[in-house]
Structure 1
Amino acid sequence: MEQSRRPPLRRAAVAALVLGLVAAAPPGGAAADRGPGSGPPTGATTYTNPVSAGAADTYADPAVVRGQDGWWYAYGTTDPLREGEGARHLLPISRSRDLVSWEHVGDAFTEDTLPAWADADPARPAALWAPDVRYVDGEYRLYYVVTQTTTTPGADDSAIGVATAPTPTGPWTDAGDPVVDPRPGGGGPDDFRWTYDPHHVVARDGTQHLFYGSYYGGVWVTPLDATGTEAVGEPVQVAVDNKYEGAYVVHRDGYWYLFASSANCCAGPTTGYAVHVGRSQSLTGPYVDREGVPLLASRAGGTPVLAPNGNRWVGTGHNAVVTDLAGQDWIVYHSIDRTDPYLDGTDGINERPMLLDRLDWVDGWPVVRAGDGASEGRQPGPTTGGRAVTGFERGIRDPWQGDAWRWRAEDPQGGAHVVARRPGGLLTRHPLVGPVRVEADVRLDPGAAGGIAAGAGRGGGGGQGRRHDDVLAGAGTAGAGAG
């Protein structure tokens, strides 16, 4: 779940917004459509790339977030979405219940609502590229590239902007000026380093950071202020010039992993775009690959994660990472079909739909489908529901019941939820056999502590045969904990 710190609730110690128990969900299980706001479907599904086909013919530079309403939302770079459409969509937004079937639900901006500091000159209007989306402190934040600004007299003076919204579909309000300003390259009034591809990260100590950059100028990370709207302090370079772009960072087992794409993104059927990775115990690096080669070294390096494998897909890159409700990581990225590489004719826009594939971790390093790369045929899909999943849309019913909880009707951010009446309480007694993953979203009053736990019931044993009967959730005073 791509989310950061949540706001405290003022009215009770703990609110459980969504609690999911995923137990041996079968691949290919049917997903019932329960209507808007009803949360994710039950079980897993299957899919065939490109997953964005239902929403768009092209969906470059994808970013995905799971909304507080239980839907998944995908954001793409500015392009027309369909063959022959002509009109561009400024950061299109799509949604899905299962990460594989998407529908277009709007755009973050229109030609009339461009950020005020984006150049709207009809002869050369700014584009908005490479979105990155996060839920931080009770609001959605959307970071993006503005390719042409009014903050300098020069041309192609790219910068990073941010907009906020109360919901994943908006309305989006731009911060009013760049988060990262245009960076002169030293070669004249129209020479600017490529300030592209933002990626927001919250460090383990709660501080916020933004990765950005591209081939001309390298990839950098800068601290942000508490609002996430201004770069502060000194930026640190984390990847060498003329090699990487599209940075995306995840934390796993004590390491920060920096995914970055190399080669030309947009050369039609000859595109060689690919994803590489380095890791570091520090968010600011140095990042090194599996052979110990720093990503700052001016030589071949970077551990391969995803590259063209000889099937129809070339130009596999500019990725994000999402985790399904069973704990499996997935990589979303754009690619080019070598048999249909352009949106409108051979001189048109590169057609780069969104693809999805399983991300495996082998000996501490990520790789797509254990090294097989982009998939072409039907694949087992993500688990976006489970044996027992609730968003509490209908209150607390069997097997979701207990006198320790009070139901709250749906709110704009978190949907329906339950509130703890007292420290500690049984939320559900539901038999589960096999591997069990318990996931819950909780918000705490200041000074409160909370937790969830799965209790072993009858049957004993361990591993695959262990039976889990009780799922507990609770709240207590600071230091006391629960569960």
Structure 2
Amino acid sequence: MGQLRRGGALAAVLGLLLAATASAPAVAAADADYRNPVSAGFADTFADPVVLRGDDGYWYAYGTTDPLREGERQFHRVPTARSTDLVHWQYVGDAFGADQRPPYAAPGAGFWAPDVRRIGDRYVMYVTVTDTTVSPEGSDFAIGAATAPTPTGPWTFADEPVVAPRPGGGGGWLWTIDPSQFTDVDGTSYLYYGSYYGGISVTELSPDGLRAVGQPTLVAIDNKFEGGYVLRHDGWYYLFASTANCCAGPATGYSVHVGRSRSPRGPFVDRDGIPLTASRAGGTPVLTQNGNRWIGTGHNGFLTDLSGQDWIVYHALDRADPYLDEPFGINERPMLLDRLDWIDGWPTVNAGAGPSDGDRPAPVTTGRWTSGSTPAWPAGGAPATGGSPTVGSLAAAR
């Protein structure tokens, strides 16, 4: 936009902009460094993390049901944290109260591996319900959903599971866990779920995101992958999935692999052309331990900062402190954050260097005034009704 020549008009527009962002949260300097684990300020463990940017401009992180601190021994039912800069986090409460559960959940059911998305005018949380009333034997996992008007709730469970417990052909129940939602460019919504017993499947969702519709498609073989998460990049669909044991203390070998497809239903193949459904299961490594303190790097989520840089959030174990309390108890899995790079059409963490242990440039979460470029709102976000700056623009900057 050309330069405004009337001081009164400029002052008026600047006033409107300041009013629109007056309630925006403060952000740390964009050129600051950070060090993993980013959850250290509020939690010793924060497993299966996923991060969402709310309409209020804050970033929100959600973790699996565990105690947060060593010695606490109090389980948090989907603990939630908030940040202005993706580096400094504050615990803001649990998604669900001690007695809050969906009608189909058994007493004492836990909630694992949440995934939270904005669908329509509300937030939807998909979560593993670890025990239902379908079987008295337990392990009858289901995928549940809850809705809320804000990222911190209040959360209300849907009466029916999105994916009900599934009997296994060899007995028991298939591992219907680790949900992850994806909305395609045509507006179709999908849910990925599953684990080692039964593999990873994808199903289409109803427009409100609360019901599975049609027939599911197997996209990753059993006994190999769990924690699926799909990103679309340059016309390809990338299925990220974790493999190996998540929780074996100092012997944990968890890592993240990927395959890509031209369809959200697959088939997903790795760099060598091997499908993730092949008996010789494929998967191109994205994130694995590299010899520093971090082992068991996996169960990831993703976000994009205000400069357009992609980042991966995940949990890992410190090889020198792998348990939350006594040995062979709960594995201590804090939340880590690292840059996701795309090289020759394939994703990799820190250009292939893997998990970071040391100072790293922080994500871009604030902006500055420039002129003549596309407007972008700062961390406070645009007003709830939309809109954009009318003088110059706000471009992400370090």
TM over 0.5, shorter chain: yes
Mapped pair 1:427 → 2:376: no
- Alignment match of 1:230 (pick from 206, 211, 222): 211
- Alignment match of 2:222 (pick from 241, 259, 263): 241
SS class of match (2:238) = strand
State the alpha-carbon separation in 1 of the partners of residues 115 and 276 from structure 2: 22
Matches within 5 A, 1:298-309: 298-309=279-290
**How many correspondences in the alignment?**
371
State the alpha-carbon separation in 1 of the partners of residues 111 and 223 from structure 2: 22
Q: Is the 8 A contact 2:24 2:381 kept in 1?
A: no
SS class of match (1:370) = helix
State the alpha-carbon separation in 1 of the partners of residues 354 and 301 from structure 2: 15
- Provide closer, same or farther for how the CA distance between residues 65 and 418 of structure 1 changes in structure 2, counting only shifts above 3 A: closer
CA shift, 1:426, in A, is 7.4
State the alpha-carbon separation in 2 of the partners of residues 428 and 153 from structure 1: 64
- Give 5+ residue unaligned stretches, structure 1: 1-17, 20-33, 390-398, 400-412, 439-483
- Partner in structure 2 of residue 280 of structure 1: 261
State the alpha-carbon separation in 2 of the partners of residues 216 and 299 from structure 1: 16
Q: Is the 8 A contact 1:40 1:71 kept in 2?
A: no
State the alpha-carbon separation in 1 of the partners of residues 384 and 217 from structure 2: 41
CA shift, 1:113, in A, is 1.3
Q: Is the 8 A contact 1:249 1:257 kept in 2?
A: yes
- Partner in structure 1 of residue 30 of structure 2: 43
SS class of match (1:90) = coil
Q: For 1:278-301, what per-residue CA distance to the aligned partner results, in whole angstroms no more than 9, with x for missing partners?
A: 000101000000111101112142
Larger Rg: 1 or 2?
Answer: 1
CA shift, 1:418, in A, is 7.0
- Partner in structure 1 of residue 127 of structure 2: 144
Mapped pair 1:381 → 2:325: no
Q: Is the 8 A contact 2:30 2:362 kept in 1?
A: no
- Provide closer, same or farther for how the CA distance between residues 68 and 426 of structure 1 changes in structure 2, counting only shifts above 3 A: closer
Mapped pair 1:161 → 2:124: no
Q: Is the 8 A contact 2:120 2:208 kept in 1?
A: no
SS class of match (2:247) = coil
State the alpha-carbon separation in 1 of the partners of residues 214 and 383 from structure 2: 40
Give the AA of the match of 2:235.
G
CA shift, 1:39, in A, is 5.8
CA shift, 1:155, in A, is 1.7
- Alignment match of 1:103 (pick from 90, 93, 104): 90
Give the AA of the match of 2:98.
E
- Partner in structure 1 of residue 58 of structure 2: 71
Give the AA of the match of 2:77.
L
Mapped pair 1:292 → 2:255: no
- Partner in structure 2 of residue 4 of structure 1: none
Q: Is the 8 A contact 1:45 1:98 kept in 2?
A: no
Which 4+ residue blocks in structure 1 deviate beyond 6 angstroms? none
Q: Is the 8 A contact 2:219 2:277 kept in 1?
A: yes
- Provide closer, same or farther for how the CA distance between residues 78 and 35 of structure 1 changes in structure 2, counting only shifts above 3 A: farther
- Provide closer, same or farther for how the CA distance between residues 248 and 151 of structure 1 changes in structure 2, counting only shifts above 3 A: same
CA shift, 1:62, in A, is 0.2
Matches within 5 A, 1:3-82: 37-38=24-25, 40-41=27-28, 43-82=30-69
State the alpha-carbon separation in 1 of the partners of residues 347 and 45 from structure 2: 26
- Partner in structure 2 of residue 259 of structure 1: 240
- Provide closer, same or farther for how the CA distance between residues 166 and 314 of structure 1 changes in structure 2, counting only shifts above 3 A: same
Give the AA of the match of 1:194.
W
SS class of match (1:269) = helix
State the alpha-carbon separation in 1 of the partners of residues 214 and 386 from structure 2: 40
- Give 5+ residue unaligned stretches, structure 2: 1-15, 372-379
- Partner in structure 2 of residue 181 of structure 1: 164
- Provide closer, same or farther for how the CA distance between residues 222 and 426 of structure 1 changes in structure 2, counting only shifts above 3 A: closer
TM-score, normalised relative to structure 2: 0.89
Q: Is the 8 A contact 1:37 1:415 kept in 2?
A: no
Q: Is the 8 A contact 1:44 1:385 kept in 2?
A: no
Q: For 1:14-72, what per-residue CA distance to the aligned partner results, in whole angstroms no more than 9, with x for missing partners?
A: xxxx99xxxxxxxxxxxxxx997436455242111000001100000001000000000
State the alpha-carbon separation in 2 of the partners of residues 306 and 155 from structure 1: 33
State the alpha-carbon separation in 1 of the partners of residues 389 and 367 from structure 2: 20
Give the % identical residues.
60
- Partner in structure 2 of residue 29 of structure 1: none
